[in-house]
Structure 1
């Protein structure tokens, strides 16, 4: 991170570092993706079926379990300091951060 004007952490575990980034004074924003659960289920299932890594029945059961768990995951991420927002809003905010940063 030394010498980098900005860094972006993404993924399900990114919220784990929000508080430490805030403590160090390097947090510009923290967002948790909020999207319709059904859309996430369909995307994930289509991807996993295309990759053919597991049997379709396993993928469907796993997908349903993740669909049910998604509200708890979002609550945990927001509890760790991320703000829930839709993809378009997150992209706009990140673009604004990059555009306004003096070292881009």
Structure 2
């Protein structure tokens, strides 16, 4: 049987990756479809302390068509080649083959995941789509500690970015809901997805 996608959208730091790992399903990291750092079409921050830096939180910083194509192939054939992206390097550093084996579902997670919901739903290839949320303060802290631990950007840039994203969290959630995701805390989504997998 063809596999179906379970989409996890939501603010950066809300717990999407952690939830995806807990579920034990194959995971497609949609953040691996970011554009390379030297791509001339990348959007740039035009105001505030980070003016002039690439706006990695803008949807024009990634390649949704490539992500949808990879998900479609996964659903149809159970196998696809996906890029490997290193945020600290601002670019792709290779590729890997994602093979679903006999898994009936796979998880697609990322900060722009809401943008794949409509085209995949039109194809009948989505089992569920969530916008994962936490309290903004908790999300801010988890995002900052993760980004510092992984040396994603200089500390001051990460701190400034964190404050901007905290203020934008409501807008991010509203966008995901408008594009077909349902808001859920990680534990709620985990319980519902587990029941879905067991039922299949």
Alpha-carbon distance change, 39 to 2 in structure 1, aligned in 2, over 3 angstroms: same
Figure out how many residues of one structure are paired with residues of the other and give that number: 101
Given the two structures, how large is their TM-score scaled by the length of structure 1?
Answer: 0.85
Q: Could you list the per-position Cα deviations for residues 43-86 of structure 1 after superposition, in whole angstroms to 9, with x for gaps in the alignment?
A: 11112222344433222111101111111111111110000110
Partners of 2:167 and 2:112 lie apart in 1 by: 18
Q: Does 1:91 align with 2:165?
A: no
User: Using a 3 Å threshold, how does the CA distance of structure 1 residues 53 and 25 change in structure 2: closer, same or farther?
Assistant: closer
User: Which stretch of the first structure deviates more once superposed, 78-87 or 2-11?
Assistant: 2-11
Which residue of structure 2 aligns with residue 64 of structure 1? 163
Which runs of structure 1 show a deviation greater than 4 angstroms over 4 or more consecutive aligned residues? none
Where do 1:40-79 residues align within 5 Å? 40-79=139-178
Q: Counterparts of 1:20-39 in structure 2 under 5 Å?
A: 20-39=119-138
TM (normalized to structure 2)?
0.47
Give ranges in structure 2 of 5+ residues lacking alignment: 1-74, 79-103
C-alpha spacing 1:98/1:60, structure 2 compared with 1 (3 Å):
same
Any gaps of 5 or more consecutive residues in structure 1? none
SS of residue paired to 1:29:
strand
Structure having the larger proportion of residues in strand: 2
Which structure has more relative contact order (CA 8 Å, sep 6+)? It is 1
Q: Which has the higher helix share?
A: 1
SS in 2 for 1:25: coil
* C-alpha distance in structure 1 between counterparts of 2:167 and 2:137, whole Å: 10
Q: What RMSD over aligned residues (CA atoms) do the two structures have, in Å?
A: 1.6
